[in-house]
């Protein structure tokens, strides 16, 4: 008997804007962020199994399978769908771990979509998004399958906006990772020591229609505290700007930085220069995604 195999891409993201707002009594922080998908991607491969969940990870060491977001997403899918079967899953990792690029969240969203396709789509889009919100604050963006979105709250409130023309991009990945918990802790301590007076900000939605407009909105509240601890990342962001990037920022809470460029020749010259000036970082050329990011293929084996 032939078995259907589903392959589902899990793209990375960068944060064009990331503002950390109030902390809830639960300990979670409210956010305002602009997500942008890039074509650096992991791949989820899924097949049916009679029962249980098997997970193979290729390309990274991620600890026990049951602790992986792919496993947790698969468990959530079977619980929500009521399906008694199981799945054999393979995760091919290309997105660096602990870099603020959303790899784990994207893997979880792609697992939900892959299993839903594998089992005849028992869950509708709303159910997929509800499960995504349970799995993590970045997961709904990837589950929504749109390349650009303004998100706020814990990340579950999304306003997708039309994709911009694909822009050449470079991601700089250092030889260390930064735990999200650590970044939030450092930011909280800094704000407690010297509370910031932040004027109200009105986002001009027209600015979302161009790269120049987005450049004017680009900010990351983690940069001050992270750059104090890791000055090489501050150097990298400045070097990206000096090399012609329209936008250069830390992504998420780090450790990766990124630059978005006006054209490929400028980007490629920047990559060559940065690899010489800052060899401690791995510089990865890529591009922003101009179309829905949920892409799948299937085969019979």
Pick the catalytic residue from 13, 42, 93, 107.
13
In DSSP terms, which residues pair with 159 in a beta bridge? 150
SS3 22: strand
List the structure tokens of 41: 């991607």
User: Which ranges of 20-166 would DSSP assign to H, the alpha helix?
Assistant: 69-81, 103-118, 125-135, 139-144
List the structure tokens of 66: 């049951």
SS3 288: strand
List the structure tokens of 21: 């707002």
User: What is the Cα–Cα distance from 172 to 237, expressed in whole angstroms?
Assistant: 9
Judge whether 13 counts as a catalytic residue.
yes
Pick the catalytic residue from 42, 138, 221, 229.
138
User: What is the Cα–Cα distance from 2 to 245, expressed in whole angstroms?
Assistant: 49
Residue 194 backbone phi and psi in degrees, to 5? -145, 85
User: Looking at the chain, how many residues does it have?
Assistant: 301
Evaluate whether 229 touches 187 at the Cβ level (below 8 Å).
no
Positions marked catalytic: 13, 138
């Amino acid at each position: 008997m032939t078995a259907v195999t589903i392959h589902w891409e899990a793209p990375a993201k960068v944060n064009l804007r990331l503002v950390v707002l109030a902390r809830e009594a639960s300990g979670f922080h409210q956010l305002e962020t602009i997500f942008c998908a890039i074509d650096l991607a992991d791949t989820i491969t899924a097949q049916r199994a009679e029962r249980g969940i098997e997970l193979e990870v290729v390309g990274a060491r991620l600890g026990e399978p049951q602790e992986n977001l792919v496993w947790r997403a698969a468990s959530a899918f079977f619980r929500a769908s009521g399906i008694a079967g199981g799945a054999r899953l393979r995760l091919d990792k290309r997105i660096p771990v602990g870099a603020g690029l959303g790899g784990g969240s994207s893997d979880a969203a792609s697992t939900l979509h892959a299993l839903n396709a594998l089992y005849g789509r028992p869950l509708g889009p709303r159910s997929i998004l509800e499960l995504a919100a349970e799995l993590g604050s970045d997961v709904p963006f990837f589950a929504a399958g749109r390349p650009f979105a303004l998100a706020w709250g814990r990340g579950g409130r999304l306003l997708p906006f039309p994709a911009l023309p694909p822009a050449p991009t470079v991601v700089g990945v250092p030889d260390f990772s930064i735990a999200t918990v650590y970044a939030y802790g450092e930011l909280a301590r800094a704000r407690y020591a010297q509370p910031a007076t932040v004027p109200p900000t009105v986002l001009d939605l027209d600015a979302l229609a161009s790269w120049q407009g987005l450049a004017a909105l680009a900010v990351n509240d983690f940069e001050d505290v992270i750059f104090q601890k890791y000055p090489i990342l501050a150097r990298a962001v400045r070097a990206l700007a000096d090399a012609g990037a329209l936008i250069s920022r830390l992504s998420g809470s780090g450790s990766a930085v990124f630059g978005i460029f006006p054209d490929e020749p400028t980007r490629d010259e920047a990559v060559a220069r940065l690899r010489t000036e800052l060899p401690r970082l791995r510089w990865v050329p890529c591009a922003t995604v101009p179309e829905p990011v949920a892409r799948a293929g299937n085969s019979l084996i």
